[in-house]
Structure 1
Amino acid sequence: MEHSLRHARILITGGAGFIGSNLVEYFLARDNEVVALDNFMTGRRDNLAGYAAHPAFRLLEGDIRDRQLCRRAVDGIDYILHEAALGSVPRSLRDPVTTTEVNVSGFVNLLFAAQAAGVKRFVYAASSSTYGNSPALPKREETIGKPLSPYAITKYVDELFAANFTELYGIETIGLRYFNVFGRRQDPQGAYAAVVPKFAAALLQHRPPVINGDGSYSRDFTYIDNVLQANELALLAECPEALNTVYNIAGGERTTLLQLFQALRDSLGRFDPAVVAIEPQYGPPRPGDIPHSLADIGKARTLLGYRPQFDVQTGLRQAAEWYYRHLAE
C-alpha cells in the first residue's frame, strides 16, 4: 500500500472482538487516535489489554442499542469502522430477536448518530451470508439470493439502511462483505466459535475436530491481514465510484472444509508433531449454512486497489503459530 491513513480519529465498534481488536492495533500503529466501543457480550478484554495505557487509545464500554451512548461515541470522530454485531448463524436461529436488535437497531442508531455528528465516512462489516441460496459462483456483489438465516437477513438489511442514509442524508458509506475471516485473536471457545480456531483448539488438545457435513462444503477463507488492508483502503478511497457501495473482501480462492482441516493440521504439525496423526470426525450439516462460497474480488481490486497479500496456506501458517502459542495447553 503506497500510503496510510494517519492522524485521524477513528471509532471502532466491537473493538474488543477478533476483527475489531486487530483494527485497533493496526490504526494505533499508524499514528491515529482510536476509540474502541464494546459491550463485551462477545468481545474479550484481554484483546485490548495491551493498549490500555496507549495515549491515543480510549475504551468506551457500552451497547450500540443505547442511542445516547452512540451519540457520545461519535463526538469528534472522523471515521467509523463498524464491526459490532452478533455474528453467528446458529445464534441467530436460536435467538433471532437479540440478533436483530443488535445488528439492525444498533446499526441504525450508530449510522444516524454518525450522520448527525458529521462523520466523514462510515465503513461497516457486511457479510458473505447475504448471498444466501444463490447458486452462482463466484459471488458477485450485484447478485444475491434468498438469505438462509436471521443473521443473514440482518446483514442485508444493514446494507439497505446504509444505501438509504446515503440517499437521504448524504453520509458516505462502504460495506465490506467479509468471507470467513480467520487469524490471531479469534476465540475458539463457545458454541458459536468459527471453524478455524475451533479446529485448531481441538487439534492442539489432540482431539479430532468435527466437520459439519462430509467435508465437501467450501468457503473462501480470508486471513485477517487482508481485512485490515481492505478497511484502510475503504477509508482512503477518493473516487466517487468507490463510495456508497459494497465489496467482497476475500482471498478469491475456494477451499473445502476437509482441505482446510488438512492444511491446518500440517501447519500445526510444525509445532506439535502429534497433531499430524489426527483424523477428523463428521457430523450433520449446520442449519442455515450455505454449501459453497467463493468471492469475485474484482470490484474491490478495481475501485479500492485491494490486493490480498495472504492466500489460505500462507495465512494458516501465520495463524498456526499464534494458535500454538495461545491455545496449546
Structure 2
Amino acid sequence: MKLALIRRQYSATGGAELYVQRLLGALAAAGHETHLFAEKWQGQAEGVKFHSVSVEGARAEKPLRFAEAVNAALQHERFDCVFSLERTLKQDVYRAGDGLHRVWLERRRQFAPWWKRPLVGLGAFHRNMMALEAQAFDPANTQRVIVNSEMVRGEIAQHFPDFPQERVHTIRNGVDVKRFKSVTREDARRRFGLEEKDFVLVFVGSGWERKGLPWLLKFMSGHGDDPHLKLLVVTRDRMRGRVPQNVILTGPMSDVEAAYAAADVLTFLPIYEPCSNVVSEALATGIPVITTSYNGASELIDSGVNGHVLDDPTDLATLGMCINHWRARGGGNSVKTRLPLDLELNVELTLQVLEKTARG
C-alpha cells in the first residue's frame, strides 16, 4: 500500500505525536510505502518520505492555505490511501482527533461570562475552521472517519447527518502503558517534596480555559486549611492571579509519568475534550480519574471503580465529594480499567481501517 499521511506539525519527540510515530513505524514495518505531508517536522521516521508543505499568512488563513497546498501536492503522485489527521479538503480517511470545532465553540459560549458569549467564534479563523470541517465531513470528500470516542461520533451524527454512520469508526486513544508504570510512588513523592500522608491531586495539560484549571485552583483556594491536600499542576500555561499555597507548579515535564506516580487522583475538568490522553495515562499508572462528561475519555470511567464523571465542571461541591470518596479509600491503591489502554491496539485497528479503505 502506498499511503499519504497528512499532519501539519510533526514532532518525533512530542507526547501528542506518539500516535503518529507508532503508526509510521508500524506502516514501515509492514512494508507499506509511507509519505508524510507536513508544514514542519522534527526528528526522523525511518522508511518514511517527507514532503514539505510550507504556507505563509496570518493565523486565520494558515489552516485553509495548508489544506489547499496539500491538496495540490497530492496531485503529483497516486496513492492507495490518503490519511489526514487535519481538517483538509479531500482524503480517503480523516481522523477527527480534535473533535468538532463548532462544538468547541458551543462549549466556550456555554461557560463564558455572559458579556463575552456574543464574541465567541467571531473572526476569520473560526469561519475557516468550520468551513474546512464541513469539507472533511462531506461524504463526497471522505470515505471513512476515525473518531476516538462515542461522544464525537454522536456529535458528527448531530451536525453532519449526511455522513453515513457506518463509515465512522471508533478507535480509542492508546498510551505506552509500560512507561506509566516505570516510576515508584516513593521516588516521585520525594522529588516533589510530598509527605506520605499528603493526599495529592494532579492536573496535566495546557489550555487554561479549555481544561478547567481555574475551577481546580478555586477549589484549592477553598481548602487552604487542609494541610495534607495538595494539587500538583503540570502545565506550560502562565498562571493568572494568585496561586494557592497548597498548589505545586512543576512547569512542563518531559517525564510526566513522575507526576502521575506521585499523585492519588487525576483531577481534569475540561469543557471540551474529544478524548484526553491524560485520562488514559493516569489510568495506566493506576490512579483514579475525576473528569467531566464533556471529555470523550470519560467513557473509560466506571463510577466509583476507577473514577467519577461530573456533569458540570464548575460543580465544586460534587468535586469535593468525589475527592473525599477516594481519600477515604486511602492513597496509593491501584485501580483497574475495563477497556484496553495500550497504544499498540490503537495502531493495529487504524491500520485495519486504512487497508480496508485501500482495498475499496
Bigger helix share? 1
TM-score, normalization by structure 1 = 0.39
Which one has the largest radius of gyration?
Answer: 2
RCO higher in 1 or 2 (8 Å CA, sep ≥ 6)?
1
